[in-house]
Amino acid sequence: MSTPLLEIRDLNVHFPLPRQSLLGPKRTLRAVQGVSLTLNEGECLSIVGESGCGKSTTALTVMGLQGPTSGEVLFQGKPLTGPGAPARKDRARIAQMVFQDPYASLNPRQTIGRMLSSQLSLHGIAKGSEASHRVADMLVRVGLTADHADRYPHEFSGGQRQRIGIARALMLDPKILVLDEPVSALDVSIQAQIINLLMDLQETLGLSYIMISHDLSVVEHVSDKVAVMYFGRVVEEGDWHSIFSRPTHPYTRRLIGSVPDPDVILSGTRTLPNAAPVPETARFSPDISRRPKPDEEPEPSELVEIGRSHRVRLAQ
């Protein structure tokens, strides 16, 4: 098998928690625990889960904005973290991020054109009229017009700002886009436009996406692979069809079952697809009927293959 584009190997990110008393034991928050994921070229991998489950921390580690406690991230087989990691400028041409709230991620005092072309000059790719040409091309590519380059962020609507956020991320021709809740701040009608744009760009530019989302209908629509995270661990992963047609871990089933979907509500019945068979003696891990404490030692468990490219976490 060829080397995957991006590989996350046994990633752990821990944060120290304050001691409860002066002489109390040290406590750690295990934000990400032993997460391993692979992303192949041209794929969209979605990470879903509730807030605080570690999905954003995982993405920040890929971006190099958060150092791992242990484990590594490999890009085309070469480390992206640790001593052999590329410099920040090289890293910027590997992976870029699109944020949830585009307004908060744009500089209000810079025109869009200036912001986009500054990346080109910083990286020594293009200057002057060559840079403005590239900026104009990019704006057209994301569905804006060339004269939008002279405007400031506040002059745009929410959907247009997200298009600018995407343009900003694409200026350096990165291989990977990390999409952190790319549409959840947008209206339903605008969401469809942005999702279509992202899918078109992925095809024309051969991009790979890591999408973080809690909107399962969007995840189902866009993803190739899905990883479900719960309190720092991946509890179920597989291709999108396995996850949505045979959701097996109780947490995945709860997630899919709580999507307020007009179709199922109006038909009056909510039937989840059957779970994939697991060995009878097996027990799912963790137990989702109670919230794990943040500093608790996790119970020993492993991801077990239950179908073609479909794995679920069982207690050992």
Collapsed DSSP state (helix, strand, coil) of residue 254? helix
CB of 76 to other proteins, least distance (A): 26
CB of 244 to other proteins, least distance (A): 7
- What's the chain's length in residues? 316
C-beta separation of 94 from 75 below 8 A = yes
Reference 35, options 75, 69, 83, 65; nearest CA is 69
Give 176 or 218: the residue with its C-beta nearer to other proteins.
Answer: 218
CB of 77 to other proteins, least distance (A): 29
Give 72 or 239: the residue with its C-beta nearer to other proteins.
Answer: 239
Give 192 or 304: the residue with its C-beta nearer to other proteins.
Answer: 192
Give 2 or 51: the residue with its C-beta nearer to other proteins.
Answer: 51
Q: What angle do CA 46, 47, 48 make, to 5 degrees?
A: 115
Distance in angstroms (rounded) separating the CA atoms of residues 201 and 301: 39
Contacts of 161 (CB under 8 A, 6+ apart): 102, 103, 106, 153
Q: How many angstroms separate the Cα of 213 from the Cα of each of 116, 151, 263?
A: 26, 30, 21
Question: Per the structure block, which two tokens stand in for 176?
Answer: 């990977």
CB of 104 to other proteins, least distance (A): 15
Give 54 or 113: the residue with its C-beta nearer to other proteins.
Answer: 54
CB of 264 to other proteins, least distance (A): 8
Collapsed DSSP state (helix, strand, coil) of residue 303? strand
Residue-wise over 34-63: b if at least 16 C-beta within 10 A, else e? Answer: bbebbbbeebbbbbbbeeebbbbbbbbbbb
CB of 195 to other proteins, least distance (A): 6
CB of 254 to other proteins, least distance (A): 6
CB of 205 to other proteins, least distance (A): 16
Contacts of 73 (CB under 8 A, 6+ apart): 6, 7, 8, 9, 11, 61, 62, 79, 80, 81
Centre a 10 Å sphere on the Cβ of residue 1 and count the other Cβ atoms it contains. 4
Reference 237, options 42, 45, 7, 61; nearest CA is 45
Peptide bond into 25 cis (omega under 30): no
Centre a 10 Å sphere on the Cβ of residue 133 and count the other Cβ atoms it contains. 13
Distance in angstroms (rounded) separating the CA atoms of residues 282 and 36: 22
CB of 98 to other proteins, least distance (A): 18
Give 87 or 266: the residue with its C-beta nearer to other proteins.
Answer: 266
* Residues in contact with other proteins by the rule CB under 8 A: 50-51, 158, 187-193, 195-196, 199-200, 214, 216-218, 220-222, 240-241, 244, 254-256, 258-266, 268
